Structure 1
Amino acid sequence: MSDKEHFSVPEAAEYMSTTVRFVRRLIAERRVPFHRLGRLIRFKRADLDAFIEAGRVEAFDPSAVLRHFRSAS
């Protein structure tokens, strides 16, 4: 893993294992914080990590789901 603290658009895409097009869409939709230095775009590692963590979906216990549906009927 890279020790960099700031990433360019292509570096951010590589860090997140996604495409440059997806990162540019995140910028356009203002879904991830970024810094503009003139025409350059830079991302902080912490901001990218927070974006990734925000998309986390927790696993569940299938038997608990079945119990929930049985009790709702």
Structure 2
Amino acid sequence: MADTQPHYLTLAEVADRYRTTERTVRYWRQTDYGPKAVKVGRHVLYPVAELEAFDQRLLSDTAA
């Protein structure tokens, strides 16, 4: 059976993925840069689909 649940990463996991600090990822969120986050209760989570879209934007920006 296929897994249809959306996958989310935490702030710490996103910082680790991009080899930066949690503070930097928070700054990205404040300035509308970086992957889009969703708030679930008091938790900020990042959908994997948004991370992949951000990766594509980074790749296209460096190719241009």
TM-score of the superposed pair, with normalisation by structure 2: 0.71
5+ residue gaps, structure 2, are: 1-5
After TM superposition, the structure 1 = structure 2 runs for residues 1-73 of structure 1, keeping only pairs within 5 Å, are 5-31=7-33, 32-56=35-59, 57-58=62-63
- Matching residue's letter, 1:17: R
Percent of residue pairs identical = 25
- Misfit runs of 4+, over 3 Å: none
Following the alignment from structure 1 to structure 2, what is the Cα–Cα distance between the partners of residues 39 and 47? 19
**Unpaired runs of at least 5, structure 1:** 60-73
CA drift of 1:20 comes to: 0.9
The number of residues matched between the two structures is 56
Alpha-carbon deviation of 1:22? 1.3
RMSD between aligned residues: 2.0
TM (norm. structure 1) is: 0.64
